[in-house]
Amino acid sequence: MALPIQAHPAGARGAVAPCRPAIHIVDDDAAVRRAITRLLSLEDWEVYAYDSAEAFLAQPAVDRPGCVILDVALPGQDGVALQLVMAERGVHLPVIFLTGHADVPLTVNAMKQGALDFLVKPVDVTVLLAAVNRALQKDERLRAQRARREATDSRLASLTPREREVLMHVMEGRLNKQIAADLGTAEKTVKVHRARGMEKMHVRSVAELVRAVERAHPHEDDEEGGAAA
């Protein structure tokens, strides 16, 4: 297993705001916006409504827990296009799509892009609330993962090239004397680099080191060759 080469951006949209979830409704139908806003305002959430994708994107970038309830058929930039722009800008909020009619190809495409749910209007209250709660739970998990990644990457960045090299060998299960032979140095030197590296990574065992890197960078090899709200 290789240590990540560099830190991955967390994709934050500015300074961290209060932790109260913010639900963003993007729909050109004023009646729909009002109805959903009234419903969600009864929960412990802050609700913001926009009549277009452009209005949503024009708002100041603030990173806070939440999700986006997004109409597919928006005037100008449609919902699927907005979803792509959000990804490009590093806006990782989970997306719940609303549509006036079921469209299988559109649904499949939206889900491939990371949409959490695809609900057909008129939306049942219970179904919508359940979808929002799922979205907020997903957002919480993704934020925790990004926080772990930031912490681990910050510690990795503090390693010297030799400490990184030694720890990479350590994670592969090699003994100090084997590492010393591979690197052409003394075993006691390897021990020093190993101890300093483990201290900087805030771990006390090889198992902890491997878990820290794997949790921060799950399926790292797959992510580098392939393709966060």
Residue 91 pLDDT exceeds 60: yes
Higher pLDDT, 44 or 225: 44
Span 17-39, pLDDT tens digits: 457 899 999 999 999 999 999 99
The pLDDT confidence band at residue 111, using thresholds 50, 70 and 90, is low
Residue 68 pLDDT exceeds 90: yes
Please check whether residue 64 is in contact with residue 23, taking contact to mean a CB–CB distance below 8 angstroms: no
Q: Name residue, tokens 């934050």.
A: 12
* Range 42-54 average pLDDT: 93
Query: Which phi and psi angles does 16 have, rounded to 5°?
Result: -75, 130
Residue 210 pLDDT exceeds 70: yes
Residue 204 pLDDT exceeds 80: yes
For the chain, give the percent of residues with pLDDT over 90: 55
The pLDDT confidence band at residue 100, using thresholds 50, 70 and 90, is confident
Q: Domain spanning 22-149 has what CATH number?
A: 3.40.50.2300
| CATH-assigned architecture of domain 158-225 | Orthogonal Bundle (1.10)
The pLDDT confidence band at residue 120, using thresholds 50, 70 and 90, is confident
Of the candidates 138, 140, 142, the residue with the CA atom closest to the CA atom of residue 150: 142
Please check whether residue 176 is in contact with residue 33, taking contact to mean a CB–CB distance below 8 angstroms: no
* Range 183-209 average pLDDT: 94
> Taking the domains of the chain in order of start, what are their residue ranges?
22-149, 158-225
For the chain, give the percent of residues with pLDDT over 70: 81
Higher pLDDT, 21 or 110: 21
- Alpha-helical regions (H) of 73-219: 79-88, 104-112, 125-157, 161-171, 176-183, 187-200, 206-216
- Looking at residue 117, what is its pLDDT? 83
Q: What is the pTM of this model?
A: 0.70
The pLDDT confidence band at residue 112, using thresholds 50, 70 and 90, is low
* Range 82-86 average pLDDT: 91
Q: Which residues contact 149 (CB under 8 A, 6 or more apart)?
A: 7, 8, 10, 216, 217
